[in-house]
Amino acid sequence: MPKKLFIETLGCQMNVRDSEHMIAELNAKEPYELTTDSTEADLIIINTCSVRERPVHKLFSELGLFNKKKKEGAKIGVAGCTASHLGKDIIKRAPYVNFVLGARNVSKIAEVVEKDKSVEIDINYDESDFAFKDFRSSPYKAFINISIGCDKSCTFCIVPKTRGDEISIPAELIVNEVKKSVANGAKEVFLLGQNVNNYGRRFSGEHDKVNFTELLRMVSKVDGLERVRFTSPHPLHMDDEFIEEFATNDKICKSMHVPLQSGSTEILKEMKRGYTQEWFLNRIEKLRAMSPEVSISTDIIVGFPGESDADFEESMKVAKAVKFEQMFSFKYSPRPHTEAAEYTNVIDSEVASERLLRLQTFQDGVVDEVMRVQVGKTHEVYFELLRSDGFISGRSDNNFLVKVEGSEELLGEIRKVRITDAARMSLTGELLA
């Protein structure tokens, strides 16, 4: 009987891929069967996120619950970014935790599971050319890491402290992963990095210097691959060559996540983002001009230390000017080991909440309009998920979630869909021929 593994993944797509890597490495040592019920698991892993404070609080209450209801003898492990930043303190606070494995150490999972109370959180560890075993939760879409770590020093962000310095994964390994995924049935790959368009600045050994635009060209030449997505580019490194490749390469899906963080040039300086409002708007203008069908999503933080009413209005101004197709907005949350956590010009929590509400209310209106005007349009949808309500769903090239009535023969197919109805989160349509 294979052991049962329950794994909960919080945070970003990078974590989703790290969980797949852990499953693959564990399985290479001994067979595990995945379960969605923690009470029957022999091994429980929480792959954590520490980008904001709330998920960290939630971790300890969740751990307590898992421990109370776990099967006799089951092991509990904490992995990911919170593991990196709290390390052995996790075991101090929750002594029943069996191991702690940092976000940059996932390749060591099979060893760590064997050693009770082991804590492996070396942020200098280099996994950039580690050949992970194969496991993918979806055969249709393959997440593929192109770099590890992050070299930026945004003053609000804990990630450089949890994932360490940035090292690019050699291009030949990436292309091999793409070929393997395509051979296994994926028509779409999703390239992942903390800062994808910084790709190629540093490799751990001697490798050909390939920049991100060149990597996109290499990847999209793989036979049988139909779609390439990536996340996230940094606005500072969005040069003309990159935008032109994005716009003219038919394999690249026309949706881009461009994290603004703040619309105020002053606050951007305090955040050490390296660009101004004008630069950001100029890049978006070029992107929309070259690629009129593009969907642009963004992240915005409100209530960063020192953010005045006028600074916040600058974020509103950019939101109004760009009309992002999607926005993730957050109240600033001070994080340990970050520069901004030391700033004393803290914004009152209620003021920050009001700003967030204003921004989100405005954005809801934008999204409703964006979705409404899709009705009657035709999108090419890559079907990936069979739902229990008789619908099958997938993503349009520009990343709208689209569902149609249909059955499993559509899975893994790219088909034309005419949109008949719109809601805030998804579109409904009918298949064309």
* Residue ranges in contact with ligand 5AD by CB under 6 A: 51-52, 156-157, 259, 261, 299, 301, 330, 332-333, 335
**Of 233 and 259, CB closest to ligand 5AD:** 259
Amino acid identity of 427?
Answer: L
Residues 6 or more apart from 309 whose CB is under 8 A from it? Answer: none
12 binding ligand SF4? (CB under 6 A): yes
Answer with the entry of ligand 5AD, ligand SF4, none that 130 interacts with (C-beta below 5 to 8 A by kind): none
**Nearest residue to ligand 5AD, scored by beta-carbon proximity:** 299
Q: Which residue is nearest to ligand SF4 (CB)?
A: 11
By rule CB under 6 A, what string of x and - marks binding of each residue 95-114 to ligand SF4?
A: --------x-----------
Per CB under 6 A, 193 contacts ligand SF4: no
Take residue 238 and report the two structure tokens written for it. Answer: 């969005």
What's the min distance (Å) between Cβ of 80 and ligand 5AD? 14
In the complex, the smallest distance separating the C-beta of residue 208 from ligand 5AD, rounded to whole angstroms, is: 30
Cβ atoms 319, 325 nearer than 8 A = no
Q: How far is the CB of 335 from ligand SF4 (least distance, A)?
A: 9
Structure tokens at 180: 């393997």
Q: Does 14 bind ligand SF4 (CB under 6 A)?
A: yes
Closest to ligand 5AD by CB, 244 vs 339, is 339
Handedness of CA 287, 293, 299, 300 (dihedral sign): positive
Dump strand ranges (E) for 251-369. Answer: 255-257, 295-302, 326-331
Dist CA 348 CA 4 (whole Å): 46
Q: Exposure string (b/e) for 104-120, b if CB count within 10 Å is 16 or more?
A: bbbbbbbebbeeeebbb
Which DSSP letter does residue 143 get?
E
- List the structure tokens of 27: 């399985």
The yes or no reply on residue 186 touching ligand SF4 (CB under 6 A) is no
363 binds, among ligand SF4, ligand 5AD, none (CB under 5 to 8 A by kind): none
Nearest one of 399, 392, 397 to 429, comparing CA atoms = 392
Query: Smallest distance, Å, CB 12 to ligand SF4?
Result: 3
Distance of CA 244 to the CA centre of its chain: 24
Q: Quick one: which segment of 46-54, 167-175, 394-402, 419-427 binds ligand SF4 (CB under 6 A)?
A: 46-54
- Minimum Å gap between C-beta 357 and ligand 5AD is 16
Asked if residue 155 binds ligand SF4 (CB under 6 A), the reply is no
Site for ligand SF4 in 73-92 (CB under 6 A): 80-81
CB distance 415 to 226 below 8 Å: no
Cis peptide before 232 (omega within 30 of 0): yes
49 contacts which partner out of ligand 5AD, ligand SF4, none, CB within 5 to 8 A by kind? ligand SF4
Whether the Cβ atoms of residue 245 and residue 298 lie closer than 8 Å to each other = no
Q: How far is the CB of 331 from ligand SF4 (least distance, A)?
A: 16
Q: Phi and psi (nearest 5°) for 47?
A: -100, 105
* Binding region for ligand SF4 (CB under 6 A): 11-12, 14-15, 49-51, 80-81, 103, 158-159, 162-163
